[in-house]
């Protein structure tokens, strides 16, 4: 939610900021804006995408070597030019960009209005923050960083901010709490950004700011970091592994399509060095340190949002089936407000692609406070959730830029499958021979995904044409395929805006069956060996009401092929691994349908990839 980037150095800031904003656009695309220092402050902001801002600045003065940029996902106030960032203070001296939510903004705003006569032009909480900093600064004539620090002690909520002061040229001040912020340290230049993607082409050396830290950056004194208690803090410089090619479309029309086709490689990457098929073992460094506690866990609680929650649902089947470990899967947003029971014998897994989702972070904090062992399954290295957990395993699928998650989902499921196999073996639920058989088959999955992607393309494109004019669709699955049905429906609705519901196949009879008529497309994920006959009956029930059935089946399943209107076949595998295959045609189908409907697949309306507000 909202991307921020800032630059100070010898280069022209404008192209660095615009390129950075393009990289961060997945975080929100309601409006974009920049501010540049060059003796005075030039601020340009526009409703819409970064490309609209570029158009707007064509004939403007864009000179300057210090500046900041913002791409917005609207929270307080509609997406328009006035509510776009940067926001200014009342005197026009300070400018600020912000990612997060200032929860006590209303109280602060009325105090600033009533006691100090401030006037506001936007509806944003961000404008309140910049006015507050200005008020603190003016009262005692403080340097910018000190005014920011003192003002932030009055603020409740989440923020990653960058502030500049017209009276203090050549300085940027940045601070964070609960929203991410990375400082890139180059040769004679610094960048600040919501993630490393705008930084990587300038430097690979970064510092991750901690919560409640204020960074002051000048070319003379470099980077100085203090906490809100005014103590100077020290930081380790990390080297980021990101490559620029990973941030480009590489010949594909959309990032989403590139990411779907990357999956044979990304699943392999997730297993690399961790799974040895020949010797029949899986090892995860993050688990080894805590193996005793994990093996003896009474219960596993899994937290996530969106697609990551669906991966968690699959994990429930995996851990219970393979490791005989009781599991509860929770929406992070519900868990944290429910006064949940967490014991110190519990292991809490947090699943998050970005590692920044506000609800997942807060739920995890709560679980940690209550004594559970916390374990992160995260993609973005160095992200907040990765740093909060006691331990964890990165899924290593590379940057995911399309807002609809694809390769992160299969990376998460691969990781959870490896964890379930390890725990199954260590807890004695899986005999060695069965464990090794499963390890061996898991290693075959990337090859099977590759084959599937090649084989299903034509069929999926054909089905997308059938689906493109639909208003509604149902996705049904049983067992391991129920969460796949949820994920298939989510993919379709979020990028094509066709209403789609995921349901357990048998539950259909308790409601959705009323919706079925000759116009209803029903996707049945029917790869199960167990309960095969039951799924067959569910298909018959849909057919009897004239619904159109598209079945995802296992190669050679003649029975289902005979009754379904359309079938998409996946290669045969062990049942616990089927989600890694059955989800692939559903991702592709959502993609092609959305493209046929003229939708912007990578930036669907109203959504953002990284949800850093609650």
The residues that touch ligand G6P, with contacts defined as CB under 6 A, are 305-308, 352-354, 357, 360, 403-405, 607, 609-611
Shortest reach from residue 395's CB to ligand G6P, in Å: 10
Q: Can you tell me the distance from the alpha carbon of 135 to that of 154, in angstroms, rounded to the nearest whole number?
A: 12
- Which is the catalytic residue, given 88, 407, 448, 609? 609
Report in angstroms how near the CB of residue 297 gets to ligand G6P at its nearest: 23
Residue number of the CB atom closest to ligand G6P:
306
**Angle at 590 (CA atoms; ends 587, 593), nearest 5 degrees:** 145
6 sits in which H/E element? strand 3-8
- 180/209 Cα distance (integer angstroms): 8
**Residue closer to ligand G6P (CB basis): 300 or 378:** 378
Minimal distance, residue 481 CB to ligand G6P, in Å = 19
End-to-end CA distance of the chain: 10
**CB nearer ligand G6P, residue 294 or residue 403:** 403
Q: Is 451 exposed, middle or buried (0-12, 13-18, 19+ CB in 10 A)?
A: middle
Angle between helices 432-467 and 263-271 (to 10 degrees): 160
State the nearest-atom distance from the C-beta of 308 to ligand G6P, in Å. 4
Specify the 3-state DSSP secondary structure of 388. helix
CB 611 within 8 A of CB 305: yes
Which among 2, 270, 305, 599 is annotated as catalytic?
Answer: 2
Cis amide leading into 86 (omega within 30)? yes
Using CB atoms within 10 Å of the CB of residue 157, give its burial: 0 to 12 exposed, 13 to 18 middle, 19+ buried: middle
**Least Å from the CB of residue 368 to ligand G6P:** 17
Identity of the residue, 404 or 460, whose beta carbon is nearer to ligand G6P in the bound complex: 404
CB of 290 to ligand G6P, least distance (A): 22
Minimum distance, C-beta of residue 378 to ligand G6P, in the bound complex (Å):
8
CA distance 137 to 155: 15
As a residue count, the chain comes to 614
With left for phi above 0 and alpha for psi between -120 and 50, is residue 557 left, alpha or beta?
beta
For 210-260, the three-class secondary structure string (H helix, E strand, C coil) is CCCEEEEEECCCEEEEEECCCCECCCCCEECCCCHHHHCCCCCCCHHHHHH
CA dihedral angle for residue 363, residue 364, residue 369, residue 371, rounded to 10 degrees? 120
Q: For ligand G6P, which is the closer residue by CB, 349 or 550?
A: 349
Please, which residue, 404 or 560, has the CB nearer to ligand G6P?
Answer: 404
* Residue number, 312 or 477, with CB nearest to ligand G6P: 312
For residue 597, with 0-12 CB atoms within 10 Å meaning exposed, 13-18 middle and 19 or more buried, which class applies? middle
Query: Tokens for 352?
Result: 């998050």
CB closer to ligand G6P, 9 vs 306: 306
> Could you tell me how many helices (H) and strands (E) the chain has, helices first?
19, 26
Q: Between residues 86 and 402, which has the closer beta carbon with respect to ligand G6P?
A: 402
CA distances to 67, 102, 103, 488 from 154, in Å: 26, 10, 11, 44
Q: Which is nearer to ligand G6P, 86 or 355 (CB)?
A: 355
Neighbours of 515 (CB within 10 A): 17
Residue 43 — left, alpha, or beta (φ > 0 → left; ψ -120 to 50 → alpha)?
A: beta
Considering the complex, what minimum distance in angstroms separates the CB of residue 270 from ligand G6P?
Answer: 15
Least spacing, CB of residue 360 vs ligand G6P, in Å? 5
Q: Are 340 and 361 in contact (CB under 8 A)?
A: no
Q: Which is nearer to ligand G6P, 93 or 609 (CB)?
A: 609
CA distance 179 to 2: 10
In the complex, the smallest distance separating the C-beta of residue 583 from ligand G6P, rounded to whole angstroms, is: 13
Residue 531 tokens, joined: 């309960």
Query: What is the DSSP track for 523-542?
Result: EEE---STTHHHHHHHHHHH
Whole-angstrom Cα distance, residue 543 to residue 495?
Answer: 28
CB of 254 to ligand G6P, least distance (A): 15
| Residue closer to ligand G6P, measured from CB, 159 or 409 | 409
Say how far apart CA 365 and CA 542 lie, in whole Å.
Answer: 45
Q: Where are the alpha helices (DSSP H) in 242-394?
A: 255-261, 263-271, 285-288, 291-295, 306-323, 332-335, 358-369, 384-388
Q: For this structure, is 2 an active site residue?
A: yes
Active site residues: 2, 609
């Amino acid at each position: 939610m909202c991307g921020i980037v800032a630059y100070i150095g010898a280069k022209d800031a404008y192209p660095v900021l615009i390129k950075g904003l393009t990289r961060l656009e997945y975080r929100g695309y309601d409006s974009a804006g920049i501010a540049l220092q060059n003796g005075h402050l030039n601020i340009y902001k526009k409703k819409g995408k970064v490309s609209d801002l570029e158009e707007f600045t064509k004939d403007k003065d864009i000179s300057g070597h210090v500046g900041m940029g913002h791409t917005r996902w609207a929270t307080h106030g509609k997406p328009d030019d006035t509510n776009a960032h940067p926001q200014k203070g009342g005197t026009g001296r300070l400018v600020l960009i912000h990612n997060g939510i200032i929860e006590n903004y209303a109280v602060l705003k009325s105090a600033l209005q009533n006691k100090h006569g401030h006037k506001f032009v936007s509806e944003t909480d961000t404008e309140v923050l910049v006015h507050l900093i200005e008020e603190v600064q003016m009262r005692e004539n403080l340097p910018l960083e000190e005014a920011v620090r003192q003002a932030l002690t009055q603020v409740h909520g989440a923020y990653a901010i960058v502030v500049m002061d017209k009276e203090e040229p050549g300085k940027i001040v940045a601070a964070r709490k609960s929203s991410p912020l990375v400082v890139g340290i180059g040769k004679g230049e610094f960048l600040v950004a919501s993630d490393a993607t705008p930084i990587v082409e300038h430097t690979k050396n970064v510092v991750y700011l901690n919560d409640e830290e204020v960074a002051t950056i000048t070319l003379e004194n470099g980077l100085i970091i203090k906490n809100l208690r005014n103590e100077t803090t020290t930081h380790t410089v990390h080297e980021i592994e990101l490559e620029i090619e990973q941030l480009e479309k590489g010949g594909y029309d959309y990032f989403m399509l590139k990411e779907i086709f990357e999956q044979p490689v990304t699943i392999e990457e997730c297993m690399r060095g961790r799974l040895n098929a020949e010797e029949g073992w899986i090892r995860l460094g993050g688990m080894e340190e805590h193996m005793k506690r994990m093996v003896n866990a009474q219960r596993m609680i899994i937290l996530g949002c969106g697609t990551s929650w669906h991966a968690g649902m699959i994990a429930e089947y995996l851990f219970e089936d393979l490791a005989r470990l009781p599991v509860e899967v929770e929406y992070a947003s519900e868990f944290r407000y429910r006064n949940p029971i967490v014991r110190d014998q519990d292991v809490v897994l947090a699943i998050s692609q970005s590692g920044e989702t506000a609800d997942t972070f807060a739920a995890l904090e709560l679980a940690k406070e209550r004594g559970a062992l916390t374990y992160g399954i995260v993609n973005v290295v160095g992200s907040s959730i990765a740093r909060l957990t006691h331990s964890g395993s990165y899924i290593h699928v590379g940057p995911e830029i399309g807002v609809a998650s694809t390769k992160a989902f299969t990376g998460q499921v691969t990781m959870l499958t490896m964890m379930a196999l390890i725990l199954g073996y260590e807890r004695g639920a899986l005999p060695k021979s069965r464990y090794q058989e499963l390890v061996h088959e898991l290693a075959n999955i990337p090859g099977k995904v590759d084959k599937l992607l090649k084989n299903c393309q034509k069929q999926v494109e054909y089905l997308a044409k059938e689906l493109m004019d639909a208003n509604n669709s149902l996705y049904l699955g049983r067992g391991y395929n129920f969460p796949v049905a949820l994920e298939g429906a989510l993919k379709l609705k979020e990028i094509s805006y066709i209403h789609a519901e995921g349901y357990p196949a048998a539950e259909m009879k308790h409601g959705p069956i009323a919706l079925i008529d000759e116009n209803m497309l029903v996707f049945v994920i029917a790869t199960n060996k167990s309960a095969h006959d039951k799924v067959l009956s569910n298909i018959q029930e849909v057919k009897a009401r004239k619904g159109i059935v598209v079945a995802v089946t296992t190669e050679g399943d003649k029975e289902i092929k005979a009754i379904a209107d359309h079938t998409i076949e996946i290669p045969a595998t062990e049942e616990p691994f089927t989600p890694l295959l059955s989800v692939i045609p559903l991702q592709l189908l959502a993609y092609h349908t959305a493209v046929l409907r003229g939708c912007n697949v990578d930036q669907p309306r109203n959504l953002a990839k990284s949800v850093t507000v609650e």
